[in-house]
Structure formats: structure tokens, C-alpha cells
Amino acid sequence: MGISVNIYLDSIPWHAVAGGLVIGIAVTLLLLFNGRIAGISGIIGGLYRMQRGDISWRMAFISGLVLSAVIWKLFFILPEIHIEASYTVLALAGLLVGYGTRLGSGCTSGHGVCGLSRLSPRSIAATLVFMFAGFATVYWVRHVLIAQSG
């Protein structure tokens, strides 16, 4: 009994759980203090509307995200980061992510974390769609395209 529970607990990626809780705290702060949804694509996208008084908090939030890596490096070593995609693939992927998140009104944070947290049927639908699109794309790239070319 004790052993099986230990094996179960060992299989949980605790750093992922801890990271998720920290993300949840960030969402809570922006929501309760600023009355805003922490959806990254929406926060960036709002800058294009150039509305007076609606720019600085967005820039501040974005700066915080960019600075997080710098602050992390002051105290810890960054985890291993490996980007496999070529520059061409990165550019195409970026275009699709930028256009798609704006057309679909959200990304992993806005629909995936915030939308699910408020039990929004729209966000649940969006999350299912981008998850399955992601599954299908990776399946195609890794198990069809490479198998064919190899």
C-alpha cells in the first residue's frame, strides 16, 4: 500500500504543479487588483488599438514577463531550453500563433487558464480545439512527415 502510493506520488511532476500554482497567483493578482484577464495574446493585441490610458499597464505586464528570465538568472540557473524548429518554421509558426490567437480571442493563458477557471464554455471549446490541433500537427510532423522523408 505504502509503496504503491509512493510510486504514484513519484510520477507527479511537482515542479510543474508548483509552476502552475505560481501562474495561478499571477492570474489572481491581475484579476483582483486590476480587474483584468491574464491572457497574454489579448494583452499584447490590445496595444494595436492604441487607446489612451490602455497602453501602459499592458507594457508593464509584458515587461514583467520578459524580465522574469533576467530575475530568475540572478538567483537560479535557467532550466535547459531547446528550440528544435528552424528559423523558417519559427517564423511561420509565429505568424499562425499571432493571427490565430487574435481571431480566436485567446491562447493557452486566456482560454486555457483563465477561461477554464471561470468555466466559460467558449474557452473550454477553444482549448479543446487548439489542443487537438497541436496534437495533430505534432503527429503529422513527427510521425508522418519525418517517416516519409526518412
Under rule CB under 8 A, which residues in 66-95 are in contact with another protein? 66-73, 78-85, 87, 89-95
Residue 24 makes contact with another protein by CB under 8 A: yes
How many of the chain's residues bind another protein (CB under 8 A)?
A: 108
Q: Are 134 and 126 in contact (CB under 8 A)?
A: no
Nearest by Cα to 30 from 119, 130, 109: 109
Assigned C-alpha cell, 81: 531550453
What's the closest the beta carbon of residue 147 comes to another protein, in angstroms?
Answer: 12
What is the per-residue binding string for another protein in 110-149, x denoting contact by CB under 8 A? Answer: -xxxxxxxxxxxx--xxx-xxxxxxxxxxx-xxx------
Assigned C-alpha cell, 103: 481571431
Report d(CA 129, CA 121) in Å as an integer. Answer: 12
- Would you mind telling me the total number of residues written for the chain in this entry? 150
Of residues 3 and 77, the one with the C-beta less far from another protein: 77
| Contacting residue, 60, 74, 148, 150, with another protein by CB under 8 A | 60
Residue 7 makes contact with another protein by CB under 8 A: no
